[in-house]
């Protein structure tokens, strides 16, 4: 079978769409990093996730579509 990573098995990212902030939440502290990209593939913001619930400020982003990895 496929080995599942327990850190991402119950991962929540909300709200979608968002205006001022997004939350990334998991059952356990993630101890991971993320990068947000625009539709051109440019990295807009990167940081670490160190808690069960992480709040990410996106209020400075222009209106548009973004991807998170």
- What's residue 28's pLDDT? 85
Question: HSE on the CB side for 27, CA within 13 Å?
Answer: 6
- What's residue 30's pLDDT? 79
Indicate whether 1 pLDDT > 60.
no
How do residues 2-60 score in pLDDT, each as one tens digit? 556 555 568 899 999 999 999 999 888 878 899 999 999 999 999 999 889 999 999 99
pTM score = 0.81
User: Is residue 7 classed as helix, strand or coil in its secondary structure?
Assistant: coil
């Amino acid at each position: 079978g496929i080995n599942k990573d327990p850190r991402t098995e119950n991962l929540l990212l909300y709200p979608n769409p968002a205006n001022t902030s997004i939350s990334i939440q998991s059952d356990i502290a993630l101890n991971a990093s993320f990068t947000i990209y625009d539709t051109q593939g440019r990295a807009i913001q990167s940081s670490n996730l160190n808690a069960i619930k992480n709040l990410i400020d996106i209020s400075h982003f222009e209106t548009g579509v973004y991807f998170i990895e």
